[in-house]
Amino acid sequence: MKKILLALLFVLIVGCSQKELTLDDELLFELQDVNDEEFQLLRAKTSNFTEEEIKQNYATIVFDYRVRNGKKFDNLTVQYKNGFGNLMEQVKYEDGLKFMNGDGRTTNYRNGSFERNTDRLVFYVKDFTDEQLQAIFNEFMLEVSWENDDGQWENKTIPVGETFLDKRGSK
C-alpha cells in the first residue's frame, strides 16, 4: 500500500511539474504630458515655440512591458515587431521635431530571459486626433518567444497598440 501511495504521489508531482507555462506579464502603453526634464530639453531645442505651445504640441509616449515570471522560461526574448522608429516614420509634422529619444532600458535575468523593457519617447502630437494616434500605434507589436521543456520554440504576438491610452491632462 505504501509503494502504491508513493508511486501515485510521484505521478502527481511529475504531472503537475509538466504544466504549461504562461506569461505573468504586465503592459503599459500611454501618452502623457511631458515631464519637467523633457520640457527643459524641448525648450532648448525648439526655440520657435512658446512654453504653452511646447506643452500643447509635445507629449511623451510611455511604454513599459515586464514579465514577472521570466526566470521560469528558457531563453525568453522580447522584440519589437514594429519598433518606435518605424512607427514614427508614419508621422508627418509641420514644424518642430517628430520625436526624440527620452529614456529607456531593458533588463534580463541571469539565464538570459527577458524581465522588463521600458521607454519614454517625446513625440510631436500637434494636429493629431485621438483616432489618428490610435491608428499609428495599432501597428506596434511585441514578439515574445521562449523555448519549452521539449526544446521547441513557442511564440506570442502582443498587439501593444490595442492597450494605448491618452493620459494627457492638457488636451
Higher pLDDT, 25 or 114: 25
Which residues sit opposite 165 in a β-bridge? 30
Instruction: For the chain, give percent helix, strand, coil, nearest 5.
Output: 30, 35, 35
Longest dimension (CA), the chain: 86
pLDDT of 18 strictly over 60: no
- 130 in helix, strand or coil? helix
Closest CA to 77 of 165, 156, 166, 160: 156
The region of weakest confidence among 60-64, 91-95, 125-129 is 91-95
Residue given cell 519614454 in the structure block: 120
pLDDT of 36 strictly over 60: yes
pLDDT in tens, 21-33: 788 999 999 999 9
pLDDT in tens, 80-94: 876 666 666 665 555
* Residue 129 and residue 82 in contact, taking contact as beta carbons nearer than 8 Å: no
Give the C-alpha separation, 107 to 3, whole Å: 47
Which residues sit opposite 104 in a β-bridge? 119
Q: How far is CA 61 from CA 12, 14, 102, 161, in A?
A: 47, 45, 9, 12
The region of weakest confidence among 43-52, 74-83, 89-98, 147-156 is 89-98
Residue range 87-109: average pLDDT?
59
pLDDT of 11 strictly over 50: no
What's the pTM? 0.73
pLDDT of 6 strictly over 60: no
Give the C-alpha separation, 38 to 120, whole Å: 10
Model pLDDT, residue 19: 62
Q: Residue 5 has which C-alpha cell?
A: 501511495
